[in-house]
Amino acid sequence: MNSNAKLRWGDLYPELGIEPIPTEPCISPEIYQEEIEKVFSKVWLKVGRVEEIPKKGDYKVKRLDFAKTSVILMHGKDDEIRGFHNICSHRGNKVVVETDNETFGSNKAAVVTCRFHGWVYDAKGDLVNVPEEEKFTSCFDKGHNGLAPVRTQVWEGFIFVNLDNEGTQSVEEFLGDMGKHLGSYPFHEMEECFAYNTLLNCNWKVAHDAFAEAYHVATIHAGSFPNVFASGLQEVQLFGDHRTCAVCLTKNANPKPAAALSGEISGASLVNHYERVQLPKSVNPNDRDDFSFELSVIFPNILVHVTEGVWFTHQFWPVGHNQTRWEGRYYIPKAKTYSERWAQEFAQILQRNAWLEDTATMEDTQEALESKAKKVMHLQDEEILIRHGYHVLEQYLNRA
């Protein structure tokens, strides 16, 4: 690298270094196991939204393949949302039979019943009914055989779980300044959700990093967003384990006619500039007229993007050292007219196409990295979010 190069972000955050990043963490089964033990099994992970289980008695089962478990999230009669491992206390059967990566259900009595022998658990996890209970021995105590709890908290409508039952850090403490940065955004006002997910044959970091910079936009998204987004990031801020930045429009941004019309009709498009209505003051603090959206990364595995009239997430769940489940969710307000409905559908399909362009690179990247022909990755200054991600991850892995 040119030692005289002026680095906007590298000079601002010298603690991250400027050296190449080793490729080994993306291909090593041993490092993957360390990540599971020291990161994913210890930190808060977003597993849902309150709108998914809005009524008392509603529940959602979320599979966490990396931990070889699934979690039942139950909306109790007291309006609390609690999480439990999906395993019966009798002989270990899954209490709720999963139909997919995410399974939903509802019960007016706010209970779930194991189909194997009919043991019934309420929304507080207590075992409330055991068929033929009198035939069990005296050492059996129904009061000590409820569901195994998972620490669960809700922040701004996001449901988080933490698999470390010995931990004491709250979600608010974990998010720190990132929580303050995004906390006043009206996530709940966007009620319509378009959701996509798929299994990708790549390491979770390979998938994650493909969305965490704008350097690729001019090439990968030349078809979906030609000459629309600038490759340089703005307003980069590091919040401990987390990070954020602004993605902006080019000076001569000229969306295609249908995309421009969609933006005029509905705020569901990213390619138009809108007046500030919903954004908190911490987002686009300088009121840039080229601002498109905020790209925020909540460690370890979720990207949250917010702008006027739309927000969306990318989440990357490790399944193996070279396999990841990607989940993309796109949130917009409910349409009030047919023209708004068309505009929203067009905007989210355009966004979906861009996501397909992004995910199309990931398996090729993994396959090439596993050749071990290259030992390092060279990051440019505008890939500062990726550099910060590896920096934080290394700190977790080096902890005793």
Q: What is the CATH number of the domain that holds 103?
A: 2.102.10.10
Q: What is the pLDDT of residue 198?
A: 95
**Pair 127, 157 in one domain:** yes
Q: What is the pLDDT of residue 217?
A: 86
Q: What is the pLDDT of residue 226?
A: 79
Task: Give the residue from 345, 361, 302, 362 showing the smallest Cα distance to 159.
Answer: 302
**Pair 351, 258 in one domain:** yes
**Pair 234, 162 in one domain:** no
At 341, is the pLDDT very low, low, confident or very high (cuts 50, 70, 90)?
very high
CB 146 within 8 A of CB 89: yes
Where is the domain boundary, 122, 146, 168?
A: 168
Cα distance between residue 310 and residue 24, in whole Å? 37
> Domain of 130?
45-168
**Pair 136, 49 in one domain:** yes
**Pair 237, 346 in one domain:** yes
Q: What is the pLDDT of residue 6?
A: 77
Q: What is the pLDDT of residue 1?
A: 47
| pLDDT score of 5 more than 70 | no
**Count of domains for the chain:** 2
| pLDDT score of 252 more than 70 | yes
The verdict on residue 243 lying in a domain is yes
The verdict on residue 128 lying in a domain is yes
Q: Which of 111-115, 116-120, 300-304, 349-353 has the lowest mean pLDDT?
A: 349-353
The verdict on residue 16 lying in a domain is no
Return the number of other C-beta atoms located less than 10 Å from residue 327's C-beta.
Answer: 18
Where is the domain boundary, 112, 144, 168?
A: 168
Task: Give the residue from 313, 315, 314, 317 showing the smallest Cα distance to 325.
Answer: 317
**Pair 229, 122 in one domain:** no
H or E, element range at 127: strand 127-129
| pLDDT score of 218 more than 90 | no
Question: Under 8 Å CB-to-CB from 397, ≥6 apart: which residues?
Answer: 31, 34, 35, 38, 39
| pLDDT score of 166 more than 80 | yes
| pLDDT score of 4 more than 60 | no
| pLDDT tens digits for range 26-59 | 999 999 999 999 999 999 999 999 999 999 999 9
The verdict on residue 65 lying in a domain is yes
The verdict on residue 19 lying in a domain is no
**Pair 86, 144 in one domain:** yes
Provide mean pLDDT across the span 375-381: 96
Q: What is the pLDDT of residue 228?
A: 81
Q: What is the pLDDT of residue 303?
A: 97
Where is the domain boundary, 168, 194, 210?
A: 168
H or E, element range at 350: helix 338-359
Q: Which of 86-90, 131-135, 270-274, 305-309 has the lowest mean pLDDT?
A: 270-274
Q: What is the pLDDT of residue 270?
A: 78
| pLDDT tens digits for range 265-296 | 887 777 777 788 899 999 999 999 899 999 99
**Rg over CA atoms, the chain:** 23
Tokens of 79: 């309006």
Provide mean pLDDT across the span 169-178: 97
3-state secondary structure of 114: coil
3-state secondary structure of 208: helix
